[in-house]
Amino acid sequence: MLFPTRLVFALAALLCATATASAQDVAVKIGVLNDMSGIYADIGGAGSVAAAKMAVEDFNPAAHHMKVEVISGDHQNKPDVGANIARQWYDVDHVDVIVDVPTSSVALAVNEVTREKNKVFLGSGPASSDLTGPKCSPNSIQWTYDTWMLANGTGKAVVKTGGDTWFFLTADYAFGHALERDTSAVIVANGGKVLGHVLAPLGTSDFSSFLLQAQASKAKIIGLANAGGDTVNAIKQGAEFGITAGGQHFAGLLVFINDIEALGLKTAQGLVLTETWYWDMTPANRAFTKRWQVASSRPGKFPSMLPAGVYSSVIHYLKAVDALRSASDGKAVVAKMKEMPTDDPLFGKGYIRADGRKIHPAYLFEVKKPEESKYPGDDYKLRATIPADEAFRPLKDGHCPLVSG
């Protein structure tokens, strides 16, 4: 009877070996692709990489028999550079998922490469709502915000509170035009009027001439359909030219907390803006911020909603991969992510729609007066919460081929 016993042991050992191998098998490589050195480096950049690493740490891959690696790249805000890095990551470096990718033009390029290679793209950074509209893809999810949501949040709220005549100061490129278009639609739909606009070239340092035109229009609200340094310069010079003192108000259509810190509360006070995440809203957000400041070595700085979106999207992605026990089929992973409800400490409970739109509430904030701010980063007060089902574009209006068939 010696022989069969040996055989049984051998078989048992073999079974054990395969069992452990399959349990440890799931290796995942996450690529954080964003602007590491240019104008958007502060809103995402290394801060988003730190957030992705924190998400991996909190997910605890070892407990789920997974091995997760995070790498990063700099797309320099150039679509060709971004698409090249994406190709190399997918083809050579075996990256399974690309996250963040601010700058809509780069995101649209990465969106196409990801679809072609059947991988996963989790856009925390890009603004263009086309990613869940005509350009939607079964391999992509747009996580944090989009132009429709910004226009709807800020535009509607401002018109409802009496700001019914608008003049736009628009950045003269695709993003600015889209933002102005979406916001104008919201204003008109809510009974407001657009009195005019001026197209300012990207990277204009002096806005005084445009501001005088806005002043002459007598519009109650000057809508800033621009971003980053352009927004900061326009608001800074607006204060100087007595725009706000003269009774006109700015509405920032894409403003991050980093812009507010760059302006200082004295200049930025009273500005109305929409975001989906603010570091000082909940104890969980504050705890995240504290950890993030250490992890990204940015003491005294505050995370924008982009790193928060990266954290949240990476957690949910890893849960889906764990459920499937494989990251190889991008479409299947995204389908699983849409099937599972989302739940994480930063964005709470939510879900992902068929068109790839992550759904959560949005918040309308007003920038505090300097005397209202108690500590560094205490910049916003909440004016309204836009419930999750109203914050984003209705599914039927997006013209996403995945939905209309």
Partner 1 sequence: MFEIFGIPSQALFGQLLLGLINGSFYALLSLGLAVIFGMLNIINFAHGAQYMMGAFAAYLLLQYLGLNYWLALVIAPIVIGAIGIVIERLFLQHLRKLDPLYGLLLTFGLALVIEGLFRNAYGSSGQPYQVPPALQGGRNLGFMFLPNYRAWVIALSVVVCFATWFAIERTRLGSYLRAATENPVLVRAFGINVPRMVTLTYGFGVALAALAGVMAAPIYNVSPQMGSDLIIVVFAVVVIGGMGSIMGAILTGFALGIVEGLTKVFYPEASNTVIFVIMAIVLLIRPAGLFGRRA
* Residue 297 engages partner 1 in binding (rule: CB under 8 A): no
Nearest residue (CB) to partner 1, 158 versus 254: 254
* Residue 198 engages partner 1 in binding (rule: CB under 8 A): yes
Asked if residue 123 lies in contact with residue 101, where contact means CB atoms within 8 angstroms, the answer is yes
Q: Which two tokens stand for residue 224?
A: 């800033």
The residue behind tokens 């992509």 is 140
- Please give the order of strands across the beta sheet that includes 66-74: 66-74, 26-34, 97-100, 120-123, 140-142
* Residue 294 engages partner 1 in binding (rule: CB under 8 A): no
Nearest Cα residue to 145 out of 253, 17, 12: 253
Chosen residue from 100, 146, 180, 261 binding partner 1 by CB under 8 A:
261
Chosen residue from 49, 200, 295, 320 binding partner 1 by CB under 8 A:
200
* Residue 199 engages partner 1 in binding (rule: CB under 8 A): yes
Compute, in degrees rounded to 10, the torsion defined by CA atoms 311, 315, 316, 321.
Answer: 140
Asked if residue 33 lies in contact with residue 73, where contact means CB atoms within 8 angstroms, the answer is yes
- x/- string (CB under 8 A) for partner 1, residues 10-49? ---------------------------xxxxxxx------
Span interacting with partner 1, options 19-27, 50-58, 198-206, 388-396, rule CB under 8 A: 198-206
Span interacting with partner 1, options 17-25, 240-248, 310-318, 330-338, rule CB under 8 A: 240-248
Chosen residue from 267, 312, 313, 342 binding partner 1 by CB under 8 A:
267
Quote the least distance from Cβ 141 to partner 1, whole Å.
27
* Residue 217 engages partner 1 in binding (rule: CB under 8 A): no
193 CB-near residues (< 8 Å, 6+ apart): 164, 165, 166, 187
Chosen residue from 5, 63, 92, 201 binding partner 1 by CB under 8 A:
201
* Residue 212 engages partner 1 in binding (rule: CB under 8 A): yes
Nearest residue (CB) to partner 1, 134 versus 242: 242
* Residue 174 engages partner 1 in binding (rule: CB under 8 A): no
Nearest Cα residue to 114 out of 129, 102, 128, 99: 99
**Coil, helix or strand at residue 241:** coil
Quote the least distance from Cβ 97 to partner 1, whole Å.
26
* Residue 4 engages partner 1 in binding (rule: CB under 8 A): no
**Coil, helix or strand at residue 40:** coil
Q: Which two tokens stand for residue 51?
A: 């957030």
Nearest Cα residue to 152 out of 334, 392, 384, 360: 392
Chosen residue from 25, 57, 91, 240 binding partner 1 by CB under 8 A:
240
Q: Which two tokens stand for residue 65?
A: 């028999």
* Residue 236 engages partner 1 in binding (rule: CB under 8 A): yes
* Residue 296 engages partner 1 in binding (rule: CB under 8 A): no
Nearest residue (CB) to partner 1, 72 versus 114: 72
CA distances in angstroms from 230 to 199, 204, 273, listed in the order given: 12, 7, 16
Compute, in degrees rounded to 10, the torsion defined by CA atoms 241, 382, 306, 325.
Answer: -170
Site residues for partner 1, 299-358, by CB under 8 A, read: 301
Q: Render 108-161 in DSSP notation, one character per residue.
A: HHHHHHHHHHT-EEEESS---GGGGTTT--TTEEE-S--HHHHIIIIIHHHHHT
Q: Which two tokens stand for residue 114?
A: 């990801």
Quote the least distance from Cβ 206 to partner 1, whole Å.
5
* Residue 173 engages partner 1 in binding (rule: CB under 8 A): no
- Please give the order of strands across the beta sheet that includes 358-359: 342-344, 348-352, 358-359
Quote the least distance from Cβ 211 to partner 1, whole Å.
9
* Residue 248 engages partner 1 in binding (rule: CB under 8 A): no
Quote the least distance from Cβ 201 to partner 1, whole Å.
4
Nearest residue (CB) to partner 1, 246 versus 270: 246
Chosen residue from 188, 241, 281, 331 binding partner 1 by CB under 8 A:
241
Binding site for partner 1 (CB under 8 A): 37-43, 172, 198-201, 203-206, 208-210, 212-213, 215-216, 228-229, 232-233, 236-237, 240-242, 246, 256, 258-259, 261-264, 266-267, 298, 301
